[in-house]
């Protein structure tokens, strides 16, 4: 059933059609992020980056694929075979700009050029091609392999950066939802208490123990707290809808918020490692990969400042036996040698290309230094904010205890007729205000801790 698939995928809510009420389950911190890792579209996009890097590396390796070629050329005219050439060959590129080549050639016809005449059994060739000048240390094929490896590492870092940012947004929304739920519970308790007190005052008025004005005071408090509860429920519903943006099912199906019945856990603790540094921030590391890629490009451009000097050395044999008679004496009488040399007089294009790449490297280094400094300052600022918020939480906890003592004392005085319902409501409202402020400060503290882990680039790994 489709519904069963939904329950299995989310593992935090279910629907029982035979019952009149909905079952409510707890959406834990870790369960929330496990769903994001598995099913969120951005998580899937991040995983595709790694797959794309593997494809690019395979593509770069294709430059070293062995290649089989065949050349057939024939001419007949007026019943006469002028010439027929057939040359199959195989090429094997190697790493250091070296290429092995083997071929077999046949040539027939009445009008062959003297240099094209071959033995009747054909002529085989095995040789080696390599560059002594430009392309000796690096060429486009080797540069493509190196850059593909860098891109593969960079894609892992980019995946981490994307998930790091996604988890920061998701964690912020989860904390908001958690905080709004706790505030809603406070207002539910406050409203229940106000209704109980109103019923007691109303009964006391009927019995002649309480004045009529106390019933008005108690009713007014019920009405005020009903309004505050409705506002808290509205904010809770909004935060729940925001939370649903990160809850997905299999097959890219979004969760229906109207069928989502969840509550947060009783407590939410976010541990923080004191040794977190910004040196592993994926945004900062991305500049390292960019510089590495540009350094490969710089080496390739620098190689263009060398003259081109290509050598082809091979030995020729009759028939199809490529490696027969391979020795020094035989090679002196049966060889094929080709030397290619090219030398630009000014190297204007090569020098400009190299200078342009060096400028790009320097620009990237300067930008990296700027981002590094910004991250360090943000980390310091965030750490200071955490210390300040921790102190505020401690103070608010003490304030909460003091406010509770004042409320208890006021209630005791009210029993002996030394206080009023107005003062009790005032004390109680102050206590609710302190509890709300305490929850809000704790939420800020949790967000600051999450931001610290995000600045260190470890949010994806630490959740």
How far is the C-alpha of 52 from the C-alpha of 189, rounded, in Å?
54
CA 319 to chain centre: 59
Please calculate the CA angle 187-189-195 and round it to the nearest 5 degrees: 100
H or E element, residue 77: strand 67-77
CB neighbour list of residue 353: distance below 8 Å, 6 or more residues apart: 301, 304
How far is the C-alpha of 222 from the C-alpha of 429, rounded, in Å?
12
How far is the C-alpha of 335 from the C-alpha of 302, rounded, in Å?
34
Tell me what pLDDT residue 260 has: 85
H or E element, residue 312: strand 308-318
In three-state secondary structure terms, 108 is: strand
Alpha helix (H) residue ranges in 207-347: 212-244, 282-303, 328-333
Tell me what pLDDT residue 16 has: 32
Look up residue 280 and give its DSSP letter. G
Tell me what pLDDT residue 241 has: 93
> Which of 299, 247, 270 is closest to 134 using CA atoms?
299
Residue 96 corresponds to which tokens in the numbers above?
């250091």
Residue 393 corresponds to which tokens in the numbers above?
């939480």
Answer positive or negative: Cα dihedral of 20, 21, 23, 29.
positive
Q: First CA to last CA across the chain, in angstroms?
A: 32
How far is the C-alpha of 434 from the C-alpha of 392, rounded, in Å?
12
Tell me what pLDDT residue 83 has: 86
Tell me what pLDDT residue 22 has: 59
How far is the C-alpha of 338 from the C-alpha of 132, rounded, in Å?
13
> CB–CB of 268/175 below 8 Å?
yes
User: Rg of the Cα trace of the chain?
Assistant: 39
Look up residue 122 and give its DSSP letter. -
The one-digit pLDDT tens for each residue of the chain (463 residues) are 334 333 333 433 333 333 334 568 899 999 999 999 999 999 999 999 989 999 999 999 888 899 999 999 999 988 888 889 999 999 999 888 889 999 999 998 888 888 888 888 888 888 999 888 888 888 888 999 999 999 999 999 999 999 999 999 999 999 999 999 999 999 999 999 989 888 888 887 788 777 788 888 889 989 999 999 999 999 999 999 999 999 998 888 888 888 888 999 999 988 877 678 899 999 999 999 999 999 999 999 999 888 989 899 888 888 777 666 666 677 777 888 999 998 888 889 889 999 999 999 999 999 999 999 999 999 999 999 999 999 999 999 999 999 999 988 988 887 777 778 888 888 888 999 999 999 999 999 999 999 999 999 988 887 7
> Which of 392, 458, 446 is closest to 171 using CA atoms?
446
H or E element, residue 336: strand 335-342
Q: CA separation (Å) from 219 to 190, 226, 253?
A: 13, 11, 47
- For the segment(s) 2-39+143-291+358-462, the CATH number from 1.20.1600.10, 1.10.3720.10, 3.40.225.10, 3.40.50.620 is 1.20.1600.10
How far is the C-alpha of 435 from the C-alpha of 403, rounded, in Å?
10
How far is the C-alpha of 70 from the C-alpha of 332, rounded, in Å?
28
Please calculate the CA angle 127-132-137 and round it to the nearest 5 degrees: 110
Tell me what pLDDT residue 273 has: 74
Query: In this structure, how many other beta carbons lie within 10 angstroms of the beta carbon of residue 103?
Result: 20
Domains of the chain, residue spans: 2-39+143-291+358-462, 67-94+98-134+308-342
Tell me what pLDDT residue 211 has: 76
Tell me what pLDDT residue 19 has: 37
CA 131 to chain centre: 42
Tell me what pLDDT residue 92 has: 92
Residue 406 corresponds to which tokens in the numbers above?
């004042």
> Which of 40, 31, 11, 9 is closest to 163 using CA atoms?
40
């Amino acid at each position: 059933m489709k519904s069963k698939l939904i329950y299995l995928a989310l593992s935090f809510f279910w629907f029982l059609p035979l019952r009149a009420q909905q079952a409510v389950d707890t959406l834990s911190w870790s369960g929330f992020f496990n769903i994001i890792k598995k099913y969120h579209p951005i998580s899937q996009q991040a995983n595709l980056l790694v797959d794309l890097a593997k494809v690019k590396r395979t593509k770069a390796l294709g430059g070293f694929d062995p290649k089989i070629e065949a050349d057939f050329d024939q001419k007949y005219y007026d019943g006469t075979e002028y010439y027929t050439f057939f040359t199959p060959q195989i090429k094997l590129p190697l790493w250091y700009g070296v290429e092995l080549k083997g071929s077999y050639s046949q040539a027939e016809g009445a009008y062959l050029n003297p240099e094209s005449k071959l033995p009747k059994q054909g002529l085989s060739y095995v040789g080696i091609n390599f560059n002594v000048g430009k392309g000796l240390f690096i060429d486009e094929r080797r540069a493509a392999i190196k850059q593909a490896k860098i891109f593969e590492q960079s894609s892992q870092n980019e995946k981490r950066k994307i998930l790091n940012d996604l988890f920061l947004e998701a964690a912020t929304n989860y904390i908001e939802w958690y905080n709004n739920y706790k505030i809603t519970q406070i207002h539910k308790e406050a409203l229940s208490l106000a209704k109980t007190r109103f019923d007691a005052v109303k009964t006391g008025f009927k019995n002649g123990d309480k004045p009529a004005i106390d019933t008005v005071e108690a009713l007014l408090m019920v009405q005020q707290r009903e309004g505050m509860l409705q506002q808290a429920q509205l904010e809770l519903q909004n935060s729940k809808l925001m939370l649903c943006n990160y809850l997905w099912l299999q097959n890219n199906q979004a969760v229906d918020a109207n069928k989502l019945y969840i509550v947060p856990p009783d407590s939410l603790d976010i541990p923080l490692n004191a040794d977190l540094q910004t040196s592993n921030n994926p945004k900062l590391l991305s500049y390292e990969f960019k510089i590495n890629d540009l350094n490969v490009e710089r080496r390739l451009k620098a190689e263009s400042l060398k003259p081109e000097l290509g050598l082809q050395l091979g030995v020729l044999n009759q028939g199809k036996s490529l490696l027969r008679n391979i020795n020094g004496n035989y090679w002196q009488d049966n060889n094929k040698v080709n030397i290619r040399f090219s030398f630009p007089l000014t190297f204007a294009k090569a020098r400009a290309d190299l200078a342009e790449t060096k400028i790009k490297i320097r620009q990237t280094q300067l930008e990296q230094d700027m981002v590094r400094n910004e991250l360090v300052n943000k980390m310091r600022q965030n750490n200071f904010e955490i210390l300040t918020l921790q102190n505020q939480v401690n103070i608010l906890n003490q304030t909460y205890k003091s406010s509770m003592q004042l409320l208890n004392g006021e209630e005791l005085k009210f029993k002996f007729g030394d206080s009023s319902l107005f003062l009790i409501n005032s004390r109680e409202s102050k206590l609710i205000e302190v509890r709300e402020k305490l929850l809000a400060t704790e939420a800020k503290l949790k967000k600051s801790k999450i931001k610290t882990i995000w600045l260190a680039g470890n949010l994806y790994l630490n959740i």
